[in-house]
Structure 1
């Protein structure tokens, strides 16, 4: 699949940088705070890198987060003090199995500007030698999000600024599957094991085959386990992977408000990302399709030389192009407005 191939190339091209150059920002405006947290994942027995975007007070250093030869960075105020008060929390999970790092700044900064603390959890970078570990990401990533929330609630610097009863989760691609898991969706192990069989809707099947990964051998108990976290009050899944693999019974048992968003016209959606059926199975859910966007719309804004960089790598330049030549910054605003409009009535309520 083209999207997966380009993501793999990006993972090699992109490194996350903090550049002190506010004139090159992708979204000019008042700065929000940004800091990097190192949080332990008990199940991984390793550290997670989390980028926190938050309403900020005066101070900090103006930086561009994720500024690379390919992408324009997102402006923030590094290590600025958190603004006085308490704020709702949004856990953010981006990416597929081989996601490029640093692609969550555009949504994190917009959420912070509207009064949320957004915690963008960076998944590990998986290479071909790690392919046998990749299926475990399906159950590890929901656990990562819960571990981040655990840490935040006990961290003396952050705990007094959060509203623990107002927590949402937002995910893109495999991150979308992860946030659905947090509100009770469970995978059917038989459906998962068959997702790369003929007629299946798996997205990483060619990569798995090239690296001798047999989904029929994946631990069925862990695939099917519940990752329900009752602290999550609302979930938004954007182009979630594995939509056809969830157990219908688990979907019908979800009680948290859930929103599903697909990017692209119905005839352009890959079968593995078409999530329209989820809203028919999840109670109290809504489904939105943005036909003028694409899966690449959630990537950062490309620099003028971005297309040439992709061409040099022998890759399709689609990642730097939007349908109908639309402006990506305008699409980011449209997508984020949709997301914030869903979150706000549940999380930004007044006392």
Structure 2
């Protein structure tokens, strides 16, 4: 099992590395793209990317959606969603999380850093970032997948209790997150962390959120933003009911909840090219009973529609 875990991780990182090298692919003339590099205090600069509608009149204030990738990912991992948002009139900005990306897993379990880094991205985008003069600071949403789903829920006001991880992993040692934690235990300081929230986030899309069981009702009591929550029915990475369903049951207001029949965990990412499929079959192989490309089209349309409704001008 341990060897399989290492192989799955390496395959995932290899695939996302290839995505980063080849992305973004912007065939649509109305979508522009710029790479980002922005400071993060005394730490290394954070890389990212921003997709934007290139044909809107100057001076137009546009809603912003920030994007947080999953474990071992990159800013380019959800480029199709970012492009769909940009085509619909949003600015979409994604970051590569320091210490939890395809190049570097040294801080993969230091999950408190993720929402803090997302806040730094928002700060950058509304002040000095590419297109900052066109960002409407009163219309900011957040999209996250897997560990990114956890990230955006925390950023929107969630406070997880990581003391729940121990009991969960004793009962489910073969689960992906428990194997990751067993291989790279978080520092003791993580249990006493101060979680960073950002009340500028007005709407959240969380797809297959990691560590959902760590919140509980108390942990999500301060989340007031509307939530669109997604679960893959055949998710073997974060199995039901400990992750997305646990979030669903703990939220103070019912989310817009979608369960995708037959889908696996990685179906929330764009279809793989033939090169990626060969390099990373574990995350690229077709899911029986699901047309991944068709699902991605529908998924992105529903994400765009949700943010369009929840970030509309008042």
TM-score, normalization by structure 2: 0.85
Find the counterpart in structure 2 of residue 93 from structure 1: 68
Per-residue Cα deviation, 1:192-221 (whole angstroms, up to 9, x for no partner): 344432336852333443x4x445845311
Segment of structure 1 superposing worse, 1-10 or 162-171: 1-10
- Kept after mapping to 1: 8 A contact 2:232/2:260: yes
Find the counterpart in structure 2 of residue 220 from structure 1: 191
Write the mapping of 1:168-183 to structure 2, written as runs, cut at 5 A.
Answer: 168-183=141-156
Write the mapping of 1:334-345 to structure 2, written as runs, cut at 5 A.
Answer: 334-345=298-309
Task: Measure, in 1, the Cα distance between the counterparts of 2:21 and 2:236.
Answer: 37
Task: Measure, in 1, the Cα distance between the counterparts of 2:141 and 2:217.
Answer: 23
Q: Are residue 261 (structure 1) and residue 230 (structure 2) matched? A: yes
Q: How many residue pairs end up in the alignment?
A: 309
Write the mapping of 1:1-351 to structure 2, written as runs, cut at 5 A.
Answer: 5-13=7-15, 14-15=17-18, 16-17=20-21, 29-42=28-41, 45-57=43-55, 85-96=60-71, 98-99=72-73, 102-124=76-98, 126=100, 133-136=107-110, 138-155=111-128, 158-199=131-172, 203-209=176-182, 211=183, 213-215=184-186, 217-222=188-193, 225-265=194-234, 270-271=239-240, 274-286=243-255, 287-310=257-280, 316-317=281-282, 319-324=284-289, 326=291, 328-349=292-313
Distance 1:269 1:323, change over 3 A: farther
Instruction: Give the 4+ runs in structure 1 shifted more than 4 A.
Output: 1-5, 81-84, 125-132, 265-269
Segment of structure 1 superposing worse, 292-301 or 165-174: 292-301
- Kept after mapping to 1: 8 A contact 2:32/2:54: yes
Q: Secondary structure at the match of 2:54?
A: coil
Gap regions ≥5 residues in structure 1: 58-80, 311-315
- Kept after mapping to 2: 8 A contact 1:186/1:247: no
Q: Secondary structure at the match of 1:179?
A: helix
Task: Measure, in 2, the Cα distance between the counterparts of 1:206 and 1:82.
Answer: 50
- Kept after mapping to 1: 8 A contact 2:77/2:269: yes
Per-residue Cα deviation, 1:114-171 (whole angstroms, up to 9, x for no partner): 01100011124658996663221x1111111110111122217523201100000110
Per-residue Cα deviation, 1:229-255 (whole angstroms, up to 9, x for no partner): 110011111000000011421212322
Per-residue Cα deviation, 1:327-349 (whole angstroms, up to 9, x for no partner): x3221111111211211112133
Distance 1:12 1:178, change over 3 A: same
Segment of structure 1 superposing worse, 280-289 or 259-268: 259-268
Q: Secondary structure at the match of 1:17?
A: helix
The structural deviation recorded for 1:289 is: 0.9
Q: Secondary structure at the match of 1:115?
A: coil
- Kept after mapping to 1: 8 A contact 2:66/2:92: yes
- Kept after mapping to 2: 8 A contact 1:234/1:346: yes
Find the counterpart in structure 2 of residue 63 from structure 1: none
Q: Secondary structure at the match of 1:244?
A: helix
The structural deviation recorded for 1:90 is: 0.3
- Kept after mapping to 1: 8 A contact 2:11/2:279: no
Task: Measure, in 2, the Cα distance between the counterparts of 1:89 and 1:343.
Answer: 10
Q: Secondary structure at the match of 2:289?
A: helix
